[in-house]
Copies of this chain bind each other. A is one copy, B any other.
């Protein structure tokens, strides 16, 4: 386990960034399990042959990214529920009383088609480009509360099948990553209020014309490349969407 930074590479990459990568690698290796403390700062500084200050700068960033948690006097810990946090980053519907739940997905539709004008715009596709369009129903506490219409370029997801989607084990984004090497690293959402049309009324078990939340999301990978465009319809009779939150930063 000689985890020394490789030759203090003169690559021009700051040392603390190299340290950060090394720590991430160790985490990925499962060297320090979730919820457990990582070695103290002094040890890590020695191990990577850097000063405490440099080591701390690397750890600082990992703490900012919610990958590690520091407790003064106790140690630095691998964040629990890193998976959970990641999950609820992208699923922002909770019950009116604030209770969160894991949604049960159900594939309601799947087809290969030419991209619509709006999909072309959001996904930066050429005219006539093909996309896969599928519909995902989400239930909370046994009740269907959200229906997503999801559009991805065929160019990035060639060979995608209805069965793969139906039988995928985890979240859609982890599926993208494992099966197609597509990493979602950012999203942008806008929200409107619209009326339920016939098909969504049926899917959500509400009357036609019921006000629904209409969440429109573009997901991006590296270099700002859009990889997914989705429209979510949410029945907010008993659930709500968590909007912008501003932490009380101590100014």
**Interface residue ranges, A against B (CB under 8 Å):** 17, 24, 53, 65, 67, 89-90, 92, 94, 185-195, 209, 211-217, 220-222, 224, 234, 236, 240-251
Contacts and interface: CB of A to CB of B under 8 A. Distances in A.
Nearest to A234: B193
Contacts of A247: 186
Contact of A251 (B185, B188, B195, B244): B185
A244 B193 contact: no
B243 A190 contact: yes
Contacts of A209: 209
Nearest to A212: B193
Contact of A192 (B17, B241, B245, B249): B241
A234 B222 CA distance: 34
13 contacts: A53-B53, A90-B246, A92-B244, A185-B246, A185-B248, A185-B251, A187-B245, A189-B242, A190-B243, A193-B194, A193-B234, A211-B212, A224-B248
Contacts of A193: 193-194, 211-214, 234, 236
Contact of A245 (B189, B213, B234, B249): B189
Contacts of A24: 251
A160 B209 CA distance: 41
Contact of A246 (B89, B192, B236, B244): B89
A192 B243 contact: no
A55 to B, nearest CB: 15
